[in-house]
Amino acid sequence: MVNRVGHTQKPQNDLRDEAQNPIENHGIIGDMRSAALVADTGSIDFCCWPDFDSASIFSALLDTPDAGIFQLSPLLPDARRQQLYLPETNVLMTRWIAKDAVVEVTDLMPIASDVDDLPRLVRRIHVRYGTARVRMLCRVRHDYSRADTQAQMAGEDVLFTALEQPALRLSATTALTIEGQAAVAEFQMKQGEIAEFMLGGAGDEQVKASRCDCDLKSTVNFWQHWSRHSNYRGRWRETVNRSALALKLLTSRKHGGIVAAATFGLPEEEGGERNWDYRYTWIRDASFTVYAFMRLGYTDEANDFMKWVRGRMGDCCEESTRLGILYALDGREELPEENLEHLSGYGGATPVRIGNEAYKQTQLDIYGELMDAVYLANKYGEAISHEGWKHASRLVNELCESWNTKDVGIWEMRGEDQHFLHSRLMCWVALDRALRLSLKRSLPAPFEKWDKTRQAIHDDIWDNFWDPELGHFVQHKGSKNLDASMLLMPLVRFVGASDPKWIKTLEAIERTLVRDGMVFRYRNDDDYGDGLEGDEGAFVACSFWYVECLARAGRVEQAHLEFEQLLRYANPLGLYAEEFDTHGHHLGNTPQALSHLALISAASFLDRKLEGSQTLWQP
């Protein structure tokens, strides 16, 4: 038979020509320095090492197993497979349930005591019932599978080396051999037996398979301790907690930045060219993430991100206060794009890109998201420093001069720059939050200038982005189109959620951009495209923004139903990629921070509304 991405499926344990696993068939493990995707087939088919934005060592998800894979599974082709996380952790368990055997593989990346320690992949297979034959294959392919990686025995371990690449070592509690520059093992296991594998830096003394049990216990303790600091006690607690755990995995313990997603190259359109690299920190996405963390009581993460931002702003001199759109976690801003022509792409979607040239763009909305995060961090976390306020003030003063210019907008359009509504809206947010913060903290500021600019932006939005003939707001000046980013207008408190003009806009969005609760960002068949061929899927974050808008507008029962429907589109582990296809399957990079933070916001507000609602649902 043929699977969703158009590859002929092979038997589960035949790695010579195995189909790519669908995006939603993956869980994620990580140590807040790197991360790996684990499929329900038992394969780690995506991992960048040693950092989120380092070159990949396993790239099977974007090509074939020849591009790098770490497979560990029993030979039970007729077994039912399940994945789950150990409660309140990012420790993943994959289970095979067959008539004559029950086998589980536990995967994790231990949390190092030192943030500079190299990541380690720990894999532990346990036969719970019966007997099973087990096969392991570890094929490391350095530098996005471009380097010539050699495997060689180093005592009982296997060493993977490539020119000018970091060497890795695989340790195991069972005998390893080498076949085709890969480490392999095949062995029989009976009930109660455990085999363990650990992959890490070649010179790392902690890479010993015998210590896997100790790493498992300490990692479970770490995540459970972190999870129990959440102050969320409402409905969908497990779902909200899973989203928080996913966001935490995407944070950098060392730097404090937050990556937009763990992956690159996963397409927004099957077989298309909309394939981007999201392993970087966008000011916008990370600022939204700070809001989600603070909603749940995680102020340390918010404070760490503010320190990371101060590092970026501190690099600006007095004459130039330009805030970058996105950065590598170590602060690099120049991230030129490169096509990996040797990779066939997920489902044939090419080119596979690394780097992201959005860093060259102008996106005025980032000032609003950042100042909103600064305002909230001051409200719930650490107070802004003297230097921090100086930097923030310079940015706001700069915005007073530039808010009325064109940019590419929140969706990073690759067409002509425009005066986008969302950019204008977030410029208003930047001035509004700066004024609120300065007044609340008695901080020095040019109040008259900022207030005058805030009012000018407010008037500009109503005068130039409200179309009286259509009866709704429009995407950009001169446009007749709708844009799902408008859903943020009541969420940032620019317009009342029940204002008649906003309700008309919400109804227009429903008619045009909403399909069974899944919301598209915009329609490409309109007179203004995004500069790319083809169409994309429905955007997960916009779908949750829609739920929150419904709840804020008083349509609580409908919001509740739409929210429950969206929860069914998650993968079995409660994770979301960036988009949905027409069948509700996952598209785009995964797990996507923006998707999960929007879920947290919608769940938090909807729970409060349901708590106070006494009405019954009616069809």
Question: Residue 196 — φ and ψ, nearest 5°?
Answer: -130, 150
Pick the range with the lowest mean pLDDT from 246-255, 270-279, 575-584.
270-279
Q: What CATH number is given to the structural domain containing 201?
A: 2.70.98.10
Alpha-carbon distance values, 614 to 509, 554, 602, 609 (Å): 28, 12, 20, 10
Q: What angle do CA 512, 513, 519 make, to 5 degrees?
A: 160
Q: Is 181 exposed, middle or buried (0-12, 13-18, 19+ CB in 10 A)?
A: middle
Say if residue 28 is in the same domain as residue 115.
yes
Q: What is the CATH number of the domain that holds 472?
A: 1.50.10.10
Rounded to 5 degrees, what angle do the CA atoms 418, 420, 425 make? 150
**Same-domain check for residues 318 and 444:** yes
366-419 tens-digit pLDDT: 999 999 999 998 888 888 889 889 989 999 999 999 999 999 999 987 678 999
Among 227, 246, 273, the domain boundary falls at: 227
Bridging pattern class, strands 514-515 and 518-519:
antiparallel
* Angstrom distance (rounded) from CA 347 to CA 356: 21
Domains in the chain, number: 2
CA distance 517 to 257: 32
Of the residues 202, 227, 252, which one is the last residue of a structural domain? 227
- The predicted-structure confidence for 439-466, as pLDDT tens digits, reads as follows 999 999 999 999 999 999 999 999 999 9
- State how far the alpha carbon of 296 is from the alpha carbons of 227, 248, 552, 563, in Å: 10, 12, 20, 19
Q: For residue range 198-232, list pLDDT tens digits in order.
A: 999 999 999 999 999 999 999 999 999 999 999 99
Q: Provide mean pLDDT across the span 23-42.
A: 98
Residues 518 and 398 in one domain: yes
Q: By residue range, what is the domain housing residue 50? A: 23-227
The phi-psi region of residue 564 (left if phi > 0; otherwise alpha if psi is between -120 and 50; otherwise beta) is: alpha
CA distances from 352 to 186, 221, 271, 343 (A): 34, 38, 11, 7
Q: What are phi and psi of 418, to 5 degrees?
A: -140, 170
Together in a domain, 200 and 321: no
Task: Specify if 12 maps to a domain.
Answer: no
* Residue 166 and residue 261 share a domain: no
- pTM for the whole structure: 0.93
From 227, 261, 285, give the residue that closes a domain: 227
Same domain assignment for residues 186 and 310: no
**pLDDT at site 9:** 36
In tens, the pLDDT along 503-555 reads 999 999 999 999 999 999 998 554 445 556 667 899 999 999 999 999 999 99
State whether 338 and 466 are in the same domain.
yes
- My answer on whether 211 and 257 are in the same domain is no
